[in-house]
Chain A
Amino acid sequence: METSSKEEYTIQSFDLETQKLLKTALKDPGSVDLEKVSNVIVDQSLKDQIFSREAGRICYTIVQAEAKQTNGNVFRRNLLNRLQQEFKAREETRKRSTQEWVCLVSFICNIFDYLKVNNIPMMALVHPVYDCLFRLAQSDALQNEEEVDCLVLQLHRIGDQLEKMNMQLMDELFNLLRDGFLLQDLSSMGRLLLLEILEFRAGGWTLSETAQKYYYSEVTD
């Protein structure tokens, strides 16, 4: 199984030895220490913002490769349990480093997006993901552009899937966002990001052409 160029690109942020480990894991998962591989991936995704948004694909490929080769799911199990640990410690992580916190959220959401069970998202992750998003929708987080940016990114990517899994929570989340938008003292960028996501959901998780033009085209004066 050739490593696709997309995966190649993603793992370039690792040192050469780790790159080799990952490549082997993708092709011959039975021959590597999958627990180590999952730790390497999680560690990196907490440090590297770009990786945290794309690591899901690599994880998916390894899971499939392992299932096919040995019928096992050692990698997935280790990955999820490690992720759970990080999730439990998220509040401390957030206090320590916003960047790490934001990476964690991106990674969890990316995993939710890619690692499906018989093409259905993992139910075990639904509440944890919502927990993260709710945290990002709290007033202290909304003041922080980095966190708002993370929040809207996740909603763009997996909002519709999350809503299908639990409509009520999504409604509650958006109530918070609407309140935040109206009542809070936000930066203009923060306000813009929130407005866009409110419209995005209202439009059925897609942006109308006019909205697209409004938010994303350059204004030439």
Chain B
Amino acid sequence: MLPYTEGHWRGLTYTRQQFVREYENDCKPDENRNKGASRWSHCRKRGADGSLRKSHAVEEPGKCSQSSRRPESFTTPESEGPVSRVKNWGDEVEAEEMRSNVQRDMHRYRRRILEADFPQRDRKISSGSSDSRDSRDSKESPAKGDIETDEATLIRRQKQINYGKNTLAYDGYIKEVPKHMRQPGVHPKTPNKFKKYSRRSWDQQIKLWRVKLHAWDPPAEEGSDVQQIEVIDLGEIMDFELDVECSADTESKCPTSSGASLSLAKDSFTGTPKKMMKIEDTEMS
């Protein structure tokens, strides 16, 4: 028996066999290193060498073999899409809910865009989805057809947003700063999942957003401003230490989760390199 026959990854049940099969499908023998099958291979649109990977359905691995269905079942379920081999109802319903929420958000968003194009009455502050409120970006104003509609993408993005919103920092933030008081650039704004962005751009926006949210992390006794400054200082210190000591030790007291985020934190608050600049602009409304 294989020591690790099934893995749970992002709520999916995934047998090692399937994993290996898909890895073999993905890799050409001479490009092993660049398209290596890590657990996250399926998340990446491109391999490390930059070439587009064969795309897989984001959520579910492989196709369901209906032969796994017990013979005494009377119904042959028609899958709504690729289905993982072993599914539990809890996960299935959560996935349904996610899909349904995303569809609902999309309808609301479309209505909001239409209203923006054809304002018919005074805009009310709605209590609906707060992620995708802004349809007025002059730079990125989506034409009616030009929004992200791919369900798998929207679900993936929504999950990332949920991770960020499921934090004490976010809770603290929304309590402290009512939405109508938010100042662009100063206050973090949830990326709009309906706008068309490349995968990299989107992931970057999420990272920046989450870093900004850390300013409202609970341990801060003296309030958010001090916390922000702390982040910057640590960032500078980290870089310095790395340069001088070539230390691989990135253990830090900074609340951000990775070394990469640290330098982002520093960059976004003190000096904005060109690449960051563009994203900052897009974030602002």
Task: Give, as a whole number of angstroms, the nearest-CB distance from A180 to chain B.
Answer: 14
Q: How far is the CA of A131 from the CA of B80 in the complex (A)?
A: 19
**B75, B89, B92: which contacts A130 (Cβ < 8 A)?**
B75
Chain B residues, Cβ within 8 Å of A77: 90-91, 93-94
Chain B residues, Cβ within 8 Å of A80: 88-90, 93
| Segment among A7-15, A118-126, A181-189 that sits at the interface with chain B | A118-126
Contact (Cβ within 8 A) B89 A124: yes
Contact (Cβ within 8 A) A118 B75: no
Chain A residues, Cβ within 8 Å of B94: 73, 77
Chain B residues, Cβ within 8 Å of A117: 93, 96-97, 100
CB-CB contacts below 8 Å: B82-133 with A: 88-94, 96-97, 100-101, 104
Q: How far is the CA of A117 from the CA of B100 in the complex (A)?
A: 8
Contact (Cβ within 8 A) B100 A118: yes
Q: Which residue of B lies closest to A172 (CB)?
A: B74
Central interface residue in B72, B77, B101, by most chain A CB within 10 Å? B77
Report if A71 contacts B (CB, 8 A): yes
Contact (Cβ within 8 A) B89 A84: yes
Q: Which residue of B lies closest to A77 (CB)?
A: B90
Contact (Cβ within 8 A) A134 B89: no
Report if A83 contacts B (CB, 8 A): yes
Task: Give, as a whole number of angstroms, the nearest-CB distance from B110 to chain A.
Answer: 17
Report if A3 contacts B (CB, 8 A): no
Q: How far is the CA of A127 from the CA of B70 in the complex (A)?
A: 13
Contact with A along B9-27 (1 / 0, CB 8 A): 0000000000000000000
Chain A residues, Cβ within 8 Å of B104: 118
Answer whether A125 and B75 are a contact pair too, CB < 8 Å, given A73-B94, A118-B104.
Answer: no
> What are 7 A-B interface contacts by the 8 Å CB criterion?
A80-B89, A80-B90, A117-B96, A118-B101, A118-B104, A123-B92, A130-B74
**Which A positions have Cβ atoms within 8 angstroms of B?**
71, 73, 76-78, 80-81, 83-84, 91, 117-118, 120, 122-125, 127, 130-131, 134-135, 169
18 further A-B contacts with Cβ under 8 Å, apart from A76-B93, A84-B89, A134-B74, are A76-B90, A77-B91, A80-B88, A84-B90, A91-B72, A117-B97, A117-B100, A118-B97, A118-B101, A120-B100, A122-B89, A122-B93, A122-B96, A123-B80, A123-B92, A127-B77, A130-B74, A131-B75
**Which B positions have Cβ atoms within 8 angstroms of A?**
72-75, 77, 80, 88-94, 96-97, 100-101, 104, 166
